[in-house]
Amino acid sequence: MNLFEERTKEIKIVSDLNPVGIFRTDSQGEMTYTNRRWHEITDYPSSQPLTNWLWNVHLDFQKDVLELTTRVLKTGEGGSMEIRWQNERWTKLQVEKIANGLIGTVTDVSDRHLYEAARIAQAQEREALAQLRAADAERQRAEADERRRAQELLVDVTSHELRQPVSAILNCSQIVRTNLSTLVDALRKSGAIPFVATEALLKQMEEDLDALDSIYQCGLSQERIANDVLSLSRLQLDTLSIHAVDFQLVPELKRIISIFANELKMKKINLEIKVGRSVTVCNINRVSSDRTRFAQILTNLMSNAIKFTDLAPVQNRRIVVCLDVSPDPPQANKCIAPSLQANVGDLAERVKDSGTLIYVYVTVRDAGPGLKPGDLALIFQRFQQGSNSHDAFGGSGLGLFVSRKLCELMGGNIDVYSVYGQGATFRFCLKMKTAREPAPKVTPPPSPPAVKAKPAFAAPPSQTVYHVLITEDNIINQTVLNRQLKQAGFTTELASNGKEALEKVKRLAF
């Protein structure tokens, strides 16, 4: 063995005995050498090629490690950082530039992190104990302040939320009126000349119908807020009462959901309604309950589901509504329908008489971002929202609180199940009674169909063309402004947020 080989062997032995992990990369940042301690710290198998070593870095730090090594290769200035690996070990990563690549070390600092975590936990525990002791002294004062602030907040939030859709309503109605006025003027000037509907006219009328749908959706939004505010006021005064009427359960559920058909279509959200086998087994058709309050609860949940599902990628946008019934109450305070009994005949026998008490279970599952653990305890409180809702939409924070109170008044409950990042499932159950079928009604003969006019008008194109970037996160306002600019002779590009706008500014000329 020559001297070079001996020295190489000695260096390898020293490297393997070193308590610090050592590694080396080539000029492209690819790992070419690691010592024994590096494998012990990172849990990367020594028998595996080093090409995939970055995957053993914790996902939260992979990008940072890659940026550090890339920067050192480019600038020649060394750097360091503390990172976590997939095996939950913490290390200090030190990287330096050498002639043909990088050389670096990883030093295990897990003990220090564990100590710091324990110290922080102890400090938090002491702080929590101190806060608990102080909370009792503050409770009476906080309750008085809360009552005063609640009244002020109710006025402020209600004013803001009712005012929010007004801009879209005014703009939509203005553009529809302008188009209709132009069409009427053209018809008056045409005299006896017959009109043939042009493609431009049909497209314009379809857009006007969309604008009218937008006005309708904004009106529904204001109605929901007004209903929640009115219900809250009556709850505070203890004057909210439940009025039972007979109605068909399944058709009523579908009717309530159909109100959102245009919004679902506009936001490209798939809807699935599942009527459980229990409804058929129990032969439930008509029930007796407060139809208006049932609709108010389901409307609030559907509105939230649409709002958050709209944040998901288009291919994942899906809402599922399930309906079940049972003569048995929910178990363990969870709004989950009991499983069907083996002998379904006995179940049907229990609910065959009119006026029998049953429990109606409804779930609404969305494909949104889900709820963070800290949000689960807050969302059913007055003026409280999940962090996703507050960050993305604002809102009054009344809907779920009012829904919870209505469920309680109707002998039921409401809850939520959610894993953050996997959507949310809101569930509620209500006490209802079975109802008799009404006597058949005589159907009057159908009225003759109305004759529809077929006007035609195509607006002349603008002579001056400008290219405009529209940045607007409200899809209704975005659509209205886009139509207005196009009718004025502009060409447009749409962006739903600042990031999209910046990307389009870089790629396109305006």
Q: What is the CATH number of the domain that holds 273?
A: 3.30.565.10
The pTM of this model reads: 0.53
| Closest CA relative to residue 337, chosen from 350, 347, 323, 348 | 323
Is 133 within the bounds of a domain?
no
CB-based contact 479:214 (threshold 8 Å): yes
Determine the pLDDT at residue 463. 56
Contact indicator for 63, 140 with CB cutoff of 8 Å: no
Which amino acid makes up residue 181? S
Does residue 452 form part of some domain? no
Domain final position from 83, 108, 133:
108
**What is the rounded CA–CA span in Å between residue 495 and residue 335?**
41
> Does any domain span residue 455?
no
- 439 part of a folded domain: no
**Secondary structure of 6-66 as H, E, C letters:** HHHHHHHHHHHHCCCEEEEECCCCCEEEECHHHHHHHCCCCCCCHHHHHHHECHHHHHHHH
Question: Which ranges of the chain have pLDDT less than 70?
Answer: 1-8, 10-11, 147, 150-165, 167, 191-192, 195-197, 341-343, 382-397, 441-464
**25 within some domain:** yes
Examine the domain organization and report whether 268 and 406 are in the same domain: yes
- Reported residue count of the chain is 510
458 in a domain, yes or no? no
pLDDT recorded at residue 453: 39
- Give the 3-state secondary structure of 328-388: CCCCCCCCCCCCCCCCHHHHHHHCCCCCCEEEEEEEEECCCCCCCHHHCCCCCCCCCCCHH
Residues 281 and 385 in one domain: yes
CA atoms of 305 and 320, how far apart (whole Å)? 9
Task: Let me know if residue 487 belongs to a domain.
Answer: yes
Q: Which pLDDT belongs to residue 464?
A: 58
Q: What is the pLDDT of residue 4?
A: 60
Cα angle 427, 431, 435 (rounded to 5 degrees) comes to: 125
Q: Are residues 255 and 304 in the same domain?
A: yes
One domain for residues 232 and 261: no
Distance separating alpha carbons of residues 16 and 5, to the nearest angstrom: 16
| pLDDT given at position 455 | 38
User: Could you read off the pLDDT of 350-387 as tens digits, one per residue?
Assistant: 888 999 999 999 999 999 999 888 888 778 876 555 55
The verdict on 261 and 221 lying in the same domain is no
| 399 in the same domain as 263 | yes
Q: What is the pLDDT of residue 388?
A: 54
- Domain boundaries, position 10: 3-108
CA distance 172 to 208: 8
Q: What is the CA radius of gyration of the chain?
A: 33
Quick one: 315 and 425 in the same domain?
A: yes
Measured in Å, how far apart are the chain's first and last C-alpha atoms?
72
Which among 218, 240, 262 is the end of a domain?
A: 240
Structure confidence at residue 82 (pLDDT): 93
> What are 361's strand-pairing partners?
324, 429
Per DSSP, the three-state class of 101 is strand
Q: Where does residue 82 rank: exposed (0-12), middle (13-18), buried (19+ CB within 10 A)?
A: middle
Are the beta carbons of 262 and 302 closer than 8 angstroms? no
424 contacts 365 by C-beta, under 8 angstroms: yes
Shared domain for 287 and 352, answered yes or no, is yes
One domain for residues 225 and 251: no
Core vs surface per residue 210-244: b (16+ CB within 10 A) or e: bbebbbebbebbbebbebbbebbeebeeeebeeee
Question: Is there a single domain that holds both residue 76 and residue 24?
Answer: yes
DSSP conformation letters of 384-448: ---HHHHHHT---S-HHHHHHHHHHHTT-EEEEEE-TTS-EEEEEEEEEEE-PPPPPPPPPPPPP
Q: What distance in Å separates the CA atoms of residue 58 and residue 29, rounded to the nearest whole number?
A: 19
Same domain, 250 and 224: no
Are residues 259 and 202 located together in one domain of the fold?
no
pLDDT of 257:
92
- Write out the E strands in 259-337: 270-275, 286-289, 318-326
**Cα–Cα dist 132/298, whole Å:** 38
Domain count, the chain: 4
The residues facing 95 across adjacent strands are 79, 104
Judge whether 155 lies within some domain: no
Q: Choose one of 240, 270, 295: the last residue of a domain.
A: 240
CATH of the domain at 100: 3.30.450.20
The pLDDT of residue 431 is 96
